[in-house]
Amino acid sequence: MHTLMENKDKEIFTVQQLNQTARTLLEQNLQFVWVKGELSNVALPRSGHIYFTLKDEHAQVRCAMFKGNNRRLNFIPAEGMAVLLRAQVSLYEERGDYQLIITHLEQWGLGQLQQAYEALKNKLQAEGLFEQAHKKPFPRFPRHIGVITSQTGAAIQDILSVLKRRYPVAPITIYHTQVQGKAAGKEIVRAIQLANKQKISDVLILARGGGSLEDLWCFNEESVARAIFASELPIVTGIGHEIDFTIADFVADLRAPTPSAAAETITPDSAELMRLFEQKKLHLIQVILRKLQQYIQKVDFLEKRLIHPGQYLQRALQMCLHYQERLTLLMEHAFARYQNRFSVSSAKLHAVSPLATLSRGYAITTTLEGQVIQDTHQLNIGQEVKTQLGKGTFLSKISKIIPD
């Protein structure tokens, strides 16, 4: 049986940490996948998001398509509809639900191009060309940037504008190729190989603007995918719009949603770096000054509190004498107070005492049995009675009764 001590060196997750780790593994290793199936439990809330279950005869999975990705839908998802979707595999951390985040949704059966795309994608994925382990790192500060695209297209202008604004220190080499048509794939392959042979650049951007599946088909060719995989230089793709995914995107070391985003992804913002440097410098100076002030104040405070042991003993002796005097004074006051209360109470008690009455000349007459005589009717001739004075007692006999 394992004990707690035996497990003390093992990593222990919280539920949140476990779900976060599972989500990261799913998103990093599966990234985007194409899946076909049947819609079920379709929900179309007013938020504009779409939620449904994708199922087949053997299994089902929860799906979410957020507002920004469903604007291009040319149909309304409905119960039982057969669809093909592209999604990122993820996990909803709060509930631990495995789910698909949909970026593209279409009705199933778009023709031979899509089938060819899927066949090649599955083939290359099975060979491991999409594996994260093969992704090459990008230099943090590129020394030279190569761009593979058409020099007459809009994409190159967007890329150059971003690079000039963000990182003007890096020189740029443009490898002109066609990015559409039958010859485009071969030209892209030659450009990748030339850039690797020249070794001028330390990072490559492969880009073009948006288009249909047919327009982007050269980026779905096997030769282009294998050239990207074989490249010793890291390659970032910026092909089409955010929702467009090609085989080149899966093989590339990094995929950006647009050509401009590709340029931003591989370059630091020089102006932002300078601002950040200044902020960090000022913050560091402030932290050091604040720490110095705190230590100075602490030293002053401790210096004031530093007292010789003899002074501690003298203070303790003074405190003992002080409390002794206070205790003696309190006891004297308490004794005087209780003595005064006793005197007052004694006087009050004496005032109502029968002895006090007798001391003023009065007497108390009782029968021999001790009954106080208050009326002559209680007496008989010849009866003996007892009279108590202030000092002393005497007996007498009734010889005559005088009525009131």
The residue-averaged pLDDT of 323-341 equals 88
pLDDT at 324: 87
**Which has more pLDDT, 216 or 273?**
216
Query: Is the pLDDT at 359 greater than 70, yes or no?
Result: no
Full DSSP string of 136-178: PPPPSS-S-EEEEE-TTSHHHHHHHHHHHHH-TTS-EEEEE--
Q: Which CATH number fits domain 15-109: 1.10.3720.10, 3.30.365.10, 2.40.50.140, 3.40.50.720?
A: 2.40.50.140
pLDDT at 375: 77
Contacts for 25-28: CB closer than 8 Å, 24+ residues apart: 26/89, 26/90, 26/91, 26/98, 27/88, 27/89, 27/90, 28/132
**Element at 230 (helix H, strand E):** helix 222-230
Contact 93, 82 (CB under 8 A): no
pLDDT at 227: 96
Band (193; pLDDT cuts 50, 70, 90): very high
Contacts of 143 (CB under 8 A, 6+ apart): 170, 202
Q: Which of 70-74, 158-162, 234-238, 305-309 has the lowest mean pLDDT?
A: 305-309
**Which has more pLDDT, 145 or 95?**
145
Which amino acid makes up residue 355? L
pLDDT at 1: 44
Tokens of 102: 């949909």
Query: Is the pLDDT at 153 greater than 60, yes or no?
Result: yes
Fold equal for 15-109 and 134-268 = no
Which amino acid makes up residue 317? L
Which amino acid makes up residue 307? I
CA distance 223 to 228: 9
Contact 226, 188 (CB under 8 A): no
Mean pLDDT for the chain overall = 85
Query: Is the pLDDT at 300 greater than 90, yes or no?
Result: no
pLDDT at 189: 96
Tokens of 252: 């590339």
Contacts for 253-258: CB closer than 8 Å, 24+ residues apart: 253/135, 253/136, 253/137, 253/138, 254/135, 254/138, 258/158
Query: Is the pLDDT at 174 greater than 80, yes or no?
Result: yes
Bridge partner residues of 98 (DSSP) = 91
Query: Is the pLDDT at 404 greater than 90, yes or no?
Result: no
CA distance 322 to 245: 89
Band (197; pLDDT cuts 50, 70, 90): very high
pLDDT at 311: 75
- pLDDT of 65-92, one tens digit each? 998 888 878 788 888 788 889 998 888 8
pLDDT at 357: 66
Q: Which CATH number fits domain 134-268: 3.40.50.261, 3.40.50.2300, 3.30.460.10, 3.40.1030.10?
A: 3.40.50.261
pLDDT at 374: 74
Tokens of 162: 């971003």
Tokens of 145: 């940037």
The residue-averaged pLDDT of 170-181 equals 94
**Which has more pLDDT, 341 or 74?**
341
CA distance 310 to 163: 75
**Which has more pLDDT, 294 or 130?**
130
- Name the residue ranges covered by the structural domains of the chain: 15-109, 134-268, 357-397
- pLDDT of 229-275, one tens digit each? 999 999 999 998 887 789 999 999 999 999 999 999 999 877 777 78
Report which listed range, 88-102, 198-212, 267-281, is most confident: 198-212
